[in-house]
Structure formats: C-alpha cells, structure tokens
C-alpha cells in the first residue's frame, strides 16, 4: 500500500493522533501498532480497533487520503483511488 522507503508508520500514527484529537479522544492512550485494521472510503483511510480496551474499540480514526498521497505506493491498490 505504501512506498517502502516512506517511513509511513510514524506518519499514520501521527494522523491517528490528529484524528483522535479532533474527536476529543486524545486523552485516551493508544499503543502505536505495526499493523492496523482499516477500511477505505472514497476520501478516507479509516483505522479501527485502535484501542486495546473494549469500551473504546468502536472508535475510528479517519485519515483524509490527500494527507497520505505522498507515501502511497504508485503501483499499489490505493493509487487507484486517486485516478477516479
């Protein structure tokens, strides 16, 4: 999905935190992961199962695709969303 040399994980983690802050959820501590569960919409990469405790597992972080366009692998599956 992402360019190997892009160091995408810190970018994604920062954008998750930014999304949580917009939802007033930044006080909940989340453990940064090497892999996240996600789904795609036409405009967002939506990360879910961010938190390890049951009460907050429904929280989602929406990342606008335009914020990650520069780290997307040009020959990967996400690139197709930008050619629509």
Model pLDDT, residue 83? 60
Model pLDDT, residue 84? 45
Q: What does the alpha-carbon distance between residue 66 and residue 44 come to, in Å, rounded to a whole number? A: 8
Question: Model's pTM, two decimal places?
Answer: 0.82
What domains lie within the chain, and their CATH numbers?
4-82 (3.90.640)
Q: What does the alpha-carbon distance between residue 50 and residue 37 come to, in Å, rounded to a whole number? A: 8
Model pLDDT, residue 55? 65
Model pLDDT, residue 60? 92
* Contact partners, residue 47, CB within 8 Å, separation at least 6: 12, 16, 19, 36, 37, 38, 60, 61, 63
Which segments of the chain have a pLDDT < 70?
55, 57, 81-84
DSSP H or E segment with residue 46: strand 44-48
């Amino acid at each position: 999905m992402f360019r190997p040399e892009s160091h995408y994980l810190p970018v994604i983690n920062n954008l998750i935190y930014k999304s949580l802050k917009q939802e007033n959820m930044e006080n909940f501590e989340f453990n940064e992961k090497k892999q996240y569960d996600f789904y795609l919409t036409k405009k967002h990469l939506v990360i879910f199962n961010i938190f390890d405790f049951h009460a907050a597992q429904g929280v989602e972080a929406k990342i606008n695709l335009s914020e990650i366009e520069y780290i997307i692998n040009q020959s990967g599956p996400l690139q197709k969303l930008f050619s629509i």
